[in-house]
Amino acid sequence: MEKNIAGNLFWIAVLTIVLASATTQAQLQLGFYHRSCPKAESLIREFVQDHIPNAPSLAAALLRMHFHDCFVQGCDGSILLNVTTTTPTNATEKTAPPNLTLRGFDFIDRVKAVVEEECPGVVSCADVVALVARDSVVVTGGPSWNVPTGRRDGTISNATQALNGIPAPFFNFVNLTKSFAKVGLNVTDLVLLSGAHTIGIGHCSSFSKRLYNFTGVGDEDPSLDSEYAANLKKFKCKIPNDNVTFVEMDPGSVRTFDTHYYKLLLKRRGLFQSDAALTTDSNARDFVTNLVNGPPSNFFAAFGLSMEKMGRAHVKTGTQGQIRKHCALINN
């Protein structure tokens, strides 16, 4: 009898804790807007399907935007706030002739306007970014993945934090691992998500040191294939620190989401030190080799799982944050 009471009390305590954490810790869920804005996800998908084929290079910028958003104060749309829009790396944001990133912000604003018209004040900018990133990759023939929704928008825009959160292209393996661990991502995720560099471009200034001044004595990065380096210097990045010219990160396959990026890594042709770093750790290198040798479908499936995981990084849910009306501005 006494044992029973103790047992019951135990289960009541467990239940109470579970219920309490369920109410304070709202979770992301698939189809969060199912009741509050049933058409939200299809409107977003249709907008992407209608517009990305005319501007395919935008898909990369939009995928990268979701990554940057999640690495700074969690996936909360703070990357879109006006104060931070120019912070992540100066070289990137303002100088691309096609102005990729700026066009990315404009694209998100247009998507947000569509969902605002359908259901004002319901769909967060953070969810728009997450859904647009997925839908853009799908339109380019890449993998799909689940995007549970219910993210709320943050209200802090801090340039210093933006610079701190985003891993730099000169990071080594240890630096990268630490940076990813801060948002709950491990080495598997690091290798898989870096595979996003199978699409898109990088400015010469993002890897110039590898070509011109690796250790400060006018030398090249010895871990970069010398033939590739010579070609880059001859035809693309002709002067040090050129922040205007850009190159394809996965030359010849820049618009195709595939495992070719990993093949380049094994040929010592990853563009950034952070790409090359993935082959400096034996476990990571083995994983890269597996991805190269396996069917693309393995990469696609695993990439999708890591994207879903990244999309949960420090999210705000429930009553935290707000649903911004304009993605560039905090509601007043």
Out of ligand HEM, ligand NAG, none, what residue 243 binds, judged by CB under 5 to 8 A for its kind, is: ligand NAG
Piece of the chain touching ligand HEM by CB under 6 A; list 38-46, 59-67, 121-129, 255-263: 59-67
Q: Confirm whether residue 225 is marked as ligand binding.
A: no
Out of ligand NAG, ligand HEM, none, what residue 94 binds, judged by CB under 5 to 8 A for its kind, is: ligand NAG
Q: Coil, helix or strand for 295?
A: coil
Q: Confirm whether residue 148 is marked as ligand binding.
A: no
User: How many angstroms separate the CA atoms of 186 and 196, rounded?
Assistant: 16
Q: Which residues are paired to 208 by β-bridges?
A: none
Query: Which residue has the CB atom at the shortest distance from ligand NAG?
Result: 216
Q: Coil, helix or strand for 202?
A: strand
Piece of the chain touching ligand HEM by CB under 6 A; list 105-113, 190-198, 256-264, 285-293: 190-198
First-to-final CA distance of the chain: 59
Piece of the chain touching ligand HEM by CB under 6 A; list 152-160, 167-175, 211-219, 230-238: 167-175
Out of ligand HEM, ligand NAG, none, what residue 203 binds, judged by CB under 5 to 8 A for its kind, is: ligand HEM
51, 66, 68, 314: the catalytic one is 68
Question: Tokens 């998507």 — which residue?
Answer: 111
Nearer to ligand NAG (CB atom), residue 23 or residue 332: 332
Please identify which residue in 52, 72, 100, 229 interacts with ligand HEM, judged by CB under 6 A.
100
SS3 annotation, 147-191: CCECCCECCCCCHHHHHHHCCCCCCCHHHHHHHHHCCCCCHHHHH
User: How many angstroms separate the CA atoms of 155 and 242, rounded?
Assistant: 35
Q: Confirm whether residue 219 is marked as ligand binding.
A: no
Q: State the residues that interact with ligand NAG by CB under 6 A.
A: 82, 89-91, 94-95, 97, 99, 102, 158, 160-161, 172, 174-175, 186-188, 212-213, 216, 240-241, 243, 309, 326, 328-329
Instruction: Pull the structure tokens for residue 34.
Output: 């199912």
Cβ atoms of 240 and 104 within 8 Å: the answer is no
Cβ neighbours of residue 237 under 8 Å, at least 6 residues apart? 204, 207, 208, 211, 245, 247
Q: Concatenated DSSP letters for 44-75?
A: HHHHHHHHGGGSTHHHHHHHHHHHHHHHTTSS
Residue 165 lies near ligand HEM (rule: CB under 6 A) = no
Active-site residue flag, 68: yes
Residue 129 lies near ligand HEM (rule: CB under 6 A) = no
Instruction: Pull the structure tokens for residue 46.
Output: 């249709």
| Binding-site residue set for heme b | 197
| Binding-site residue set | 69, 72, 74, 76, 78, 93, 167, 197-198, 250, 258
Active site residues: 68
